[in-house]
Structure 1
Amino acid sequence: MPAEPPLPDPADALAPLAAHETLLLAVSGGPDSIALMLLAARWPLAAQKRIEIATVDHGLRAEAAREAAQVGDWARARGFVHHILRWQGKKPTTRIQERAREARYRLLCACAREIGASAIVTAHHADDQAETVLFRLTRGSGTAGLAAMATESRIEGLPLLRPLLRFRKAELENVCAVAGQDFVSDPSNENPAYARVRLRRLAATLAAEGLDSKALLRLSARAARAEEALAWSAERAALELPAERETKRFHVAAAALRALPRELLLRLLAAEIARIGGGEPRLERLERAGEGLAAALAAERRFKTTLGGAIVTLEGDAVAIAPEPPRRRAEIT
């Protein structure tokens, strides 16, 4: 019989939260988020902080309202204020998980602002991380995608903290077991209509070929290191580029871009398009535009494309980026 995994030490596990005075913990009721709540209750710094719990009722299952209320009972029993956040309105019939996720974070951000929380905390763990890497691998993601989730990121200007990424799901389930704490089981986690569930069912087959969770986590860590280096290099290249930058204009000599490695050219394009056009183009579209611009730079010929609300032009010996005209945007919409 395999030994039970060790219990995480709350002081160590929740150390990334120490800098924040008011925290909103996202607790769905599953074993991972319930473990987060239990660890927070035993956190040595808990008495010095204001910690509140939020559960999102997506309204996608008949049991959801009852489960959210149950989480509220468990949270209050541990001394926490609890909020139920309801996703109102007509629900989508396609891309349900993606749109539910968007709604969930929108509601969590609104709740965090309402209570004055300086950060949102989720219970994503190492198995989630490995699953995310595999999912993005099947989609052909770049280094940023394969780096997967960071311990700290930002959403709508708020810090989003994931302190449990070092811990396996079994360790968090053991936290619940030792505490004698029940949790909610979401049947959608077993629904093969969702890509993540189908990938989960391939885990044993992939592991037999060497692509197990440990390998996926190694890939994530290596991609994160590469992404950090590329982001640093792109920022440095942008600072050193002899370009003219105005609020809604970018202008640079073609020769300066011609010398850039292709990846840095793409990142420069993405940053300036986001700054000027206000959009963040999908990687595939950005790559097509970047390839077209790079080919035109090499051949010293004219080039023009629209992307992310901006127009990129190469004419003569200069590249310019400017806002896309409003009328054209309306036509595309």
Structure 2
Amino acid sequence: MPVPVAAAKGALSSHLDGLRRTGQWLADQSGILAAVSGGPDSLALALVAAEVCAEASVRFEAVVVDHGLRDRSAAEADQVVAALTGRGIPARRFTVSGPAPMTGRQAWAREKRLQILCDQARQTGSAVLFGHHRDDQAETVMMRLSRGSGLAGLSAMAPYSLYQGVVFGRPFLGLSKGDLISVCQAYEADFVTDPSNADPVFERVRTRQWLQHPGQKMARQQMMRLSAVSSRLAARVRGECERWCAAHALFTYRLRAELQADAFSQLHDEARKHILRYCLGVVGGQPYPVSEEALDNLLDRLDTGQKSTTGGCLVQMTQTHLRLIAEFGRPPEPELKAEAGRLYCFDRRWLVYAPQGGVIRRLGAQGWTALDREHPVYEALKTWPARLGMMLPYLDGLDGQHYHPHFTSYRHVCSAAGRATADQKGLHETEFVLCSLPEDGALTLAKTATHDR
């Protein structure tokens, strides 16, 4: 076996073991999706993952997304699918819907691709693997360093992470692009070359060209070391925030956080900013963390007793508590068309199962007023302020019914979609069930007798 292929297979096998240790992926119930564009990185991933998953009896499929940004993108996507299926590798093509914007087209295409991958992963209970490698990591750190990113940003891409409730994996961060090209050559597999990857109009291309200069070998190594150190420090900071919040904060789903004012006031400014950033991330439902400047401004206003709106939250300090409440009414209000029997991420806060086709919306003031809080299911909501209740989702079914939420666990939401054991299937066939999504971010691995003692 060629050395690059052996290294890639070893990395993938080790990664599957790591996925199990995240506690978010069960090999006997879950599968693997590989995000494939047809370039050498993702093609090498599909070729290697198909073999390793077959050997491990893990369900595998390659997903090809046509973003439609180039005239030949659809034909290229079809060619990639045909090449994979011709080798006996399961593969499907999906197409991004909607017109591309005039600006930020690459970011738009990336987000659309992620949404398609996440949707397929939710329906099949799969983790999504990407072919990112060591050179990608160095580029990402360099770009974020130039923007003044903090610890979390400089950590760059984590080998295991959660995004909207879906596990993402990057098994090849220890390999180079050259290694993955060699893997494709060993399999005699032709890969697609995207001309935009050489267009210096894009920041990543300019960064890549600078780092690939022979005189920048030391810079590449320094970027990787900076990423590793930042990742360890960020994990430690996050752990400290979680421990502090477990002792001094109370969360109501991802809608409200109440922090003990005395304990918060005793922290130094940097610790207070870390706690606020963490809580805003949990409650705010925003795609990106708040900036350092926004945190400084928020602390200044809290010190003077002013109410503030930051990161999708209403924030206020009282004599006893610091309260962060999810902001209702910020346009556009989330609205999601749903098909019957599918899982969805709604409002970046909820994993929901739709028993009927229809539209998922927030309850709003009228829906919250109409909700029967005398019903045993909603008894716990009697003490909720309207501001929280209005944020709850409901399903406006095509059958003319309004389906109100039934709170349950993550595993029960998944079983409602028929993804668990046979005796659990159909457990909530007619119920609109939901649970809180865990917040996005890097995943840690559980220690075992043979790992990380």
Instruction: Report the equivalent of 2:48.
Output: 39
Which amino acid is the alignment partner of residue 162 of structure 2? R
Aligned mates of 2:61, 2:138 — CA distance in 1: 29
Residue of structure 2 equivalent to 1:126: 134
Paired residue for 1:172? 180
1:141 counterpart = 2:146: no
The reply to whether residue 14 of structure 1 matches residue 19 of structure 2 is no
Counterpart in the other structure of 1:193: 201
**CA 1:140/1:46 → structure 2, altered by over 3 Å: closer, same or farther?**
same
2:119 match: secondary structure: helix
Say which is worse superposed, 169-178 or 269-278, in terms of deviation: 269-278
Q: By how many angstroms is 1:109 displaced?
A: 1.9
Match of 2:380 in 1: none
CA distance in 1: counterparts of 2:8 and 2:98, whole angstroms = 38
- Mapped to 2, the partners of 1:305 and 1:235 lie a distance apart of 23
2:189 paired residue among 166, 169, 181: 181
Provide structure 2 residue ranges, at least 5 long, that are not aligned to the other structure. Answer: 21-26, 334-453
* Match for residue 63 of structure 2 among 54, 59, 66: 54
- 1:80 and 1:117, CA in 2 relative to 1: closer, same or farther beyond 3 A? farther
Higher relative helix content: 1
Cα distance in 1, alignment partners of residues 251 and 126 from structure 2: 33
Range moving further from structure 2, 313-322 or 122-131 = 313-322
Structure 2 residue 234 is the aligned partner of structure 1 residue 224: no
1:273 equivalenced with 2:273 (yes/no): no
Partner of 2:73: 64
Which ranges in structure 1 are unaligned for 5 or more consecutive residues?
Answer: none
Q: How does 1:72-87 map to 2 (within 5 A)?
A: 72-87=81-96
Aligned with 1:306: secondary structure? strand
Evaluate the alpha carbon distance shift between residue 65 and residue 324 of structure 1 in structure 2; reply closer, same or farther with a 3 A threshold: closer
What's the offset of the Cα at 1:239? 2.2
CA contact (8 A) 2:84 2:91 kept: yes
TM-score where L is the length of structure 1: 0.85
Indicate conservation of the 8 Å contact 1:270/1:281, yes or no. no
Equivalent residues, number: 321
How many angstroms does 1:246 deviate by? 5.1
Of 72-81 and 180-189, more deviation after overlay is shown by 72-81
- Partner of 1:52, secondary structure, is strand
| Distance in 2, Cα, partners of 1:51 & 1:129 | 25
Matched, 1:321 2:320: no
Q: 2:88 aligned with 1:91, yes or no?
A: no
How many Å apart are 1:164 and its aligned residue? 0.9
- Cα contact 1:10–1:43 (8 A) shared by 2: no
Superposition TM-score, scaled by structure 2 size: 0.64
Does residue 108 of structure 1 match 2:107? no
Q: After TM superposition, give the deviation of residue 99 of structure 1 in Å.
A: 0.9
Out of 310, 314, 317, the residue aligned to residue 313 of structure 2 is 310
Please point out which of 269, 290, 293 is paired with 1:288.
293
CA–CA distance in structure 2, aligned partners of residues 220 and 301 of structure 1: 37
Name the SS of the counterpart of 2:191 in structure 1. Answer: coil
Alignment check: 8 A CA contact 1:254 1:314 kept: yes
Q: CA deviation at 1:301?
A: 3.4
> What letter is aligned with 1:13?
A
**CA separation in 2, counterparts of 1:252 and 1:47?**
46
Structure 1 104/324 Cα, relative in aligned 2: closer, same or farther at 3 Å?
closer
| 1:254-313 Cα distance to aligned partner (Å, 9 max, x none) | 4422321333312322333344444466432xx33432454467xx63333111332222
Tell me how far apart the structure 2 counterparts of residues 72 and 136 of structure 1 sit (CA, whole Å): 34
Per the alignment, in what secondary structure is the counterpart of residue 9 of structure 1?
A: helix
Amino acid at match of 1:218: R
